[in-house]
A and B are shown apart, each in its own frame.
Chain A
Amino acid sequence: MKIWIHRNGVQEGPYDLPDLLNLGINATTPVWYQGLAQWMPAGVAPMTAPFFPPGATPQPQPQPQPQPQQVFVQQMRRPSTYMAWSILLTILCCSPFAIAAIITGAVSASRYNTGDYTGAQTMSDITAWLLIITIVLSPFTMFFLGGLWF
């Protein structure tokens, strides 16, 4: 897969991964490839991150990056995992859909942390639907299956 990088304020590439690693970039170099929502530091993007383990000394860069934060300032907002409602509705409605919502919320958070922002959003959407199903179904299951207790 082709990877673009941002160095000294100039976009370069595309490079293949082995060529890219020979360029002497470090963990802070912004990279982008098909599938990333936006530019990310090489130490964060899932494809390049394994080659820049945290704690490794960054290779000395001849010139400091001119305002690197300008490139990836638009960090995508973390989609809601709806954990508060998932927990409440699991306890109050004993709905299997609410338990499933806790799990999809966890998957959403996990995907967000690996930089898969579109995947995180999709899981957040599914979580919302599971909670909608829970709220809509609960009055019916309580009244028709449980009935009032006298």
Chain B
Amino acid sequence: MVLADAHRLLRILTVVAAVGIIAVVVYLATHNPESAPALRCPFKALTGYDCPGCGTQRAVHALFHADFAAAWRYNAALVPALVLALAYIVVPPRHASLLYRPGFNAGVAIAIVAWWILRNLLSI
């Protein structure tokens, strides 16, 4: 199957992405995205609305200064998303856990879209 090679390609690309993400995170440790150059969300630039990830750079910067309240204010979904992603890395796939129930995965997708809509409606 042609599609089978996708997994090897993705493995290489995730290493590249991880390096990029770590570079940005390290940069944010010493630079405040409110005043220093930072990445800008394409969705926000196009539509003016927040995306599910908007505020992540400010939140990461706040986390480096142990300002958890500010991190929560900038993007309340960031910490839960990081915890969930970590759980998927730690718990092995064959484990018959809640994480690998199809309903739970679908619930995650619904929760992200709900957060996307709600934060724009409520300006959070």
Q: Which residues of A come within 8 Å of B, CB atoms? A: 77-78, 80-85, 87-94, 99, 102-103, 105-107, 109-110, 113, 122, 124-126, 128-129, 131-132, 135-136, 139, 141-142, 144-150
Contacts and interface: CB of A to CB of B under 8 A. Distances in A.
Given A109-B102, A129-B6, A136-B13, A146 B42 contact: yes
Interface string B75-118: 10110011011101100011000011111011011001100000
Interface of B: 1, 3-4, 6-7, 9-10, 13-14, 16-17, 20-21, 33, 37-46, 51-54, 56, 75, 77-78, 81-82, 84-86, 88-89, 93-94, 99-103, 105-106, 108-109, 112-113
Contacts of A107: 102
Q: What 5 A-B pairs are tightest by C-beta distance, nearest first?
A: A106-B105, A94-B51, A145-B42, A110-B102, A146-B40
Contact of B39 (A129, A131, A149): A149
A126 B3 contact: yes
A88 B113 CA distance: 14
A91 B77 contact: yes
B40 A142 contact: yes
B57 to A, nearest CB: 9
A83 to B, nearest CB: 4
Contacts, number: 134
A76 to B, nearest CB: 11
Contact of B105 (A83, A89, A125, A147): A83
A125 B45 contact: no
Contacts of A131: 10, 13-14
A132 B15 CA distance: 12
Contacts of B3: 122, 125-126, 128-129
Contact of B88 (A78, A87, A94, A144): A87
B109 A99 contact: yes
Contacts of A78: 93-94, 100
B12 to A, nearest CB: 10
B6 A91 contact: no
Contacts of A88: 21, 81-82, 85
A125 B1 contact: yes
Contacts of A150: 37
Nearest to A80: B93
